[in-house]
Amino acid sequence: MADNDNGIANRGYQPDNDEEPVKIKNGSPVGKVKPSEGFRQLTEEERKEKFAIMKNIIIISVAFTFLFTSYNSMANLQSSINETTGTTALSTLYGALVVSCCFLPSWFIKTLRTKYTMAVCMLGYSTYIAAQFYPKMYTLVPTAIILGLGAAPMWSAKCTYLTKVGARYAEIIGDNTEVVITRFFGIFFLFFQSTQVWGNLISSSVLSVGVDTEDKTPEELERCGYNFCPWDSPSNSTNDTTDGIPEWQTYTMASIYLVFALLSSVIIVLFVDPLSKFVGDDKYDATEGKTGLQLLVASFNHMRHPYQLLIIPLTIWSGVEQAFLGADYTAAYVSCGLGVHMVGYVMICYGVCDAICSVTFSPLVRIVGRVPIFTMGFLINLSIIITLIYWMPKPDDIVVFFILSGLWGVSDAVWQTQINALYGVIFPGESEAAFSNYRLWESLGFIIAYACSTVFCIHSKITILLVFLVLGIVGYYVIEVIEKLGGLKRDKEGEVITLDKLVTGKYQ
């Protein structure tokens, strides 16, 4: 992203109090100027509106923090506490999400507006968490579908709200719109990235109660790690346990998470102002851009773009690697080698490293460029995968569990921040279709990983990881080479020549 004239460095700074405005030079105030020189004091109404916008940004961020504190930690545990039913439900969830992305956001926002779209769709997460009280296939799968169908409208409504109020805020203070919107999204993700910490801290605290030190036999440990198969995992299921977890612990976690999820929806309803308060009637938000069917057609048409075909394996990898860590690493290595009560603690390490690196990598790219950062992510993941092949998890190696999850968080930060940015760079002016493809192929990666979770052993899943990692990085390098050589061929109108035209030669 460009520096946008160094943020506010070359613009006037407007204080919130009654001081006279000051000029900025090299990021510091250098003297007072009169309002007649192009600056003005904010009116009382503008100050109140400015405060109200910031208040709503914080409230929405807090609400999403409550919601994903519940959902993320519960999803991380599915392969350990619900095994087959849990991972089947998660794969179904992402299948529903793909459908939702194509058809539902516009309809929801047009019907309910942005505020109530967020609140209603958050209830879908609550139904899934409530199903944990009785985790059967006929409770988890339907609620996972409800969650998946509501997820895309909820995120679209959130993005719409932050974007619109960000533009209004920039108008009030006289700042660059892109800078303000980026700042608001930064505030949101500062809260959001902490959810891995809070949720997993809750789950591990509950699951650690009454846990005695258990010495696993060498025979039991030999079935962990690279040799792990879902059907061989030890289960002590009885009438008062769920896959070896006492029912009271499952109910305690589900109760806490359900309260958090319901609270998120209540917070939105009671404390968030309607978007119309700041931008007038927000009915048009849902009608801007393409309809669901038009976006679906544009998304498939966009696959003719050579860069889109090259970036598909890396985008699928982004979903596969996240799901592998949450479902397979936690079950085959952490839960099998240490115990399910340690899953949350290990995932906290992952979340902290991911959050820190997500913040630091974007400015780092400006210094060293994209290629070294992508290469670093590839080498880290490759090293971890090789380690997972040859390392036999043992309780004595507890530090290794945390190192591997932390490093996975570092590499995930590369993929989550830089693949998004890459889509914006290589598909200028095509954001709707491009990012629709991004959501489609990343969701497909989740589906592949979760679907394989219950039917393949770890050695097969690691092979799938390697295939998508290698294909993904090769496709990325090809894009960079093409860019270095001058970019893709274009027709007389300056449009990129699609793959079918390149093959047939009809672009002449």
Q: Which residues contact 401 (CB under 8 A, 6 or more apart)?
A: 333, 334, 337, 338, 342, 346, 393
pLDDT greater than 70 at residue 397: yes
- Please write the tens of the pLDDT for every residue from 245-255: 677 888 888 89
The alpha-helical segments, DSSP class H, found in 272-397 are 276-279, 292-302, 306-323, 336-337, 343-368, 370-390
Chain-centroid distance, C-alpha 249: 28
Residue from 286, 317, 247 nearest 106 by CA: 286
pLDDT greater than 60 at residue 7: no
> Which residue type occupies 265?
S
Sole residue written with tokens 């970036």: 311
Q: Which residues contact 498 (CB under 8 A, 6 or more apart)?
A: 304, 305, 306
Helix axes 370-390, 343-368, angle to 10 degrees: 150
Q: What average pLDDT does the segment 173-179 reach?
A: 78
Tokens linked to 413: 């930060």
Confidence of residue 115 (pLDDT cuts 50, 70, 90): very high
The alpha-helical segments, DSSP class H, found in 34-136 are 44-81, 83-130
Give the number of other CB atoms < 10 A from CB of residue 457. Answer: 16
Q: What average pLDDT does the segment 425-430 reach?
A: 74
CA angle at 200 for the pair 453 and 54, rounded to the nearest 5°? 115
Separation of first and last alpha carbons in the chain: 34
C-alpha to C-alpha distance for 64 and 168, rounded to whole angstroms: 22
What sign for the dihedral angle of Cα 399, 401, 402, 406?
Answer: positive
Residue from 330, 294, 268 nearest 60 by CA: 268
C-alpha to C-alpha distance for 62 and 267, rounded to whole angstroms: 9
Q: Which residues of 414-432 are buried (b: 16+ CB within 10 A; e: fewer)?
A: bbbbbbebbbeebbeebeb
Residue from 347, 350, 412, 420 nearest 381 by CA: 412
SS3 259: helix
pLDDT greater than 80 at residue 475: yes
- Please write the tens of the pLDDT for every residue from 47-81: 888 899 999 999 999 999 999 999 988 887 786 67
Q: What per-residue confidence (pLDDT) applies to 396?
A: 86
C-alpha to C-alpha distance for 115 and 497, rounded to whole angstroms: 41
- Please write the tens of the pLDDT for every residue from 478-500: 999 988 888 767 666 656 676 66
Give, for 208, the enclosing helix (H) or strand (E). none
SS3 33: coil
Confidence of residue 121 (pLDDT cuts 50, 70, 90): very high
Burial class (CB in 10 A: 0-12, 13-18, 19+), 100: buried
pLDDT cut 90: percent of the chain above it? 28
Q: Which residues contact 334 (CB under 8 A, 6 or more apart)?
A: 342, 343, 346, 393, 401
Confidence of residue 235 (pLDDT cuts 50, 70, 90): very low
Q: What per-residue confidence (pLDDT) applies to 402?
A: 94
C-alpha to C-alpha distance for 149 and 169, rounded to whole angstroms: 31
| Mean pLDDT over the full length of the chain | 79
